[in-house]
């Protein structure tokens, strides 16, 4: 097997094992809330954190997980926006933020989602939980299973609403994780970006509990929360110049301070960092000797995007080295080379380059068939 350097690509954007430091050089930020985190959505890179692993009460920020499970049901085809949901007596008894569903009142999934996302309606949450899982208990079990699958190891959900319950706890970091997962469902922004709307034929108005949607021009969502015990929480998302950020604030003493902290984190992220998308160039196929196929396509594993401090992009380079021929058999995922992302001579990230598919070793029959094919063409 021979190896060659194919290219040195300026401003390449490979994100694999690289993590940005919490504070950009020369930048300073003050967050009043006791717990907070700022991450970039596509990479999950942490740009700022403050006591991000402290377990706290999330209030209605809990509903991010509820909404996530609803969106997964819709995208799986098991649930449709037009499906009719009937409110039970249990759903109507929730209290707190609500749209005052009456027992046996019916709404579409689309309307229920609007009530949950925009108005933080507890009654609509319970109605959807019962519709999807048969009971709130079964739905909450699914919430905890999903949290575990996402690595939210500091989270325990007791209900689907965020109403106060002993042991109902999570962290700013875990909230950022489930927020990032929810944002993978593009349709959710049709709801999270609503400022004002209505249900029941215009008879009942809805106003977004997230005031950043109205007063922060980059805002895309996501969910607020408040109880006397949890105080003021938010998972605030915003997008600018192709980069989307998630800022989580927990246990802020007032809604104004919560929103100011979220805005400060988002402004800090946009001012100090930028995202660059992976180069879409295709690596040339690599020749395979004595295989059933004469070549294999090399791919870069894990390439998505990279967040860097603004102003450093012109110095980013990626050195790619791959073999120029292979002897069959070739396994799918077999390492064929490596890509290294560097900044001022320092390696920021590296990626294995692997075979996209397997290539079996050619047998006698394969070789004979190829010879026949060759002579017939000649």
Catalytic residues: 60, 63, 120
d(CA 136, CA 134) in angstroms, rounded, equals 7
Question: Per 3-state DSSP, what percentage of the chain is helix, strand, and coil (rounded to 5)?
Answer: 30, 30, 40
Helix, strand or coil, per DSSP, at residue 366 = helix
**Cα 62–68–74 angle (5° rounding)?**
145
3-class SS string, 54-107: CCECCHHHHHHHHHHHHHHHHHHCCCCCCCEEECCHHHHCCCCCCCCCCCCCEE
CB 117 within 8 A of CB 188: yes
Helix axes 63-76 and 136-149, enclosed angle (nearest 10): 90
| Nearest of 221, 216, 215 to residue 185 by alpha carbon | 221
Helix, strand or coil, per DSSP, at residue 306 = strand
d(CA 107, CA 111) in angstroms, rounded, equals 6
- Kind of pairing, strands 35-40 and 243-252? antiparallel
CB 94 within 8 A of CB 44: no
């Amino acid at each position: 097997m021979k190896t060659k350097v194919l290219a040195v690509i300026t401003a390449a954007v490979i994100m694999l094992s690289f993590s940005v430091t919490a504070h950009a050089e020369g930048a300073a930020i003050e967050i009043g809330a006791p717990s907070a985190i700022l991450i970039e959505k596509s990479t999950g890179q942490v740009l700022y954190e403050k006591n991000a692993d402290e377990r706290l009460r999330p209030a209605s920020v809990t509903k991010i997980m509820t909404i996530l499970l609803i969106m997964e049901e819709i995208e799986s085809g098991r649930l449709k926006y037009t499906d009719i949901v009937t409110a039970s007596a249990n759903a109507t008894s929730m209290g707190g933020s609500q749209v005052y569903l009456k027992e046996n009142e019916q709404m579409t999934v689309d309307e229920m989602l609007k009530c949950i996302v925009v108005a933080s309606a507890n009654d609509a949450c319970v109605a959807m939980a019962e519709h999807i899982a048969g009971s709130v208990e079964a739905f909450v079990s699914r919430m905890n299973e999903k949290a575990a699958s996402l690595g939210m190891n500091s989270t325990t959900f007791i209900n689907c609403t965020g109403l106060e319950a002993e042991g109902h706890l999570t962290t700013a970091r875990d909230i950022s994780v489930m927020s990032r997962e929810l944002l993978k469902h593009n349709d959710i922004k049709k709801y999270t970006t609503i400022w004002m709307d209505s249900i029941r034929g215009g008879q009942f108005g809805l106003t977004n509990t997230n005031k950043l949607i109205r007063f922060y021009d980059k805002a895309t969502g996501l969910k607020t929360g408040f109880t006397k015990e949890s105080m003021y929480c938010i998972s605030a998302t915003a997008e600018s110049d192709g980069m989307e950020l998630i800022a989580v604030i927990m246990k802020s003493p007032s809604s104004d301070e919560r929103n100011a902290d979220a805005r400060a984190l988002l402004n800090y992220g946009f001012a100090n960092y930028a995202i660059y998308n992976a180069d879409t160039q295709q690596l040339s196929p690599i020749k395979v000797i004595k295989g059933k196929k004469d070549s294999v396509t090399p791919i870069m594993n894990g390439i998505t995007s990279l967040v860097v401090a603004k102003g450093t992009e012109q110095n980013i380079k990626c050195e790619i080295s791959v073999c120029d021929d292979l002897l069959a058999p070739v396994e799918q995922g077999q390492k064929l080379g490596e890509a290294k992302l560097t900044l001022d001579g320092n390696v920021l990230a590296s990626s294995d380059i692997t075979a996209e598919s397997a290539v079996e070793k050619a047998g006698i029959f394969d070789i004979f068939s190829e010879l026949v094919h060759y002579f017939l063409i000649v």
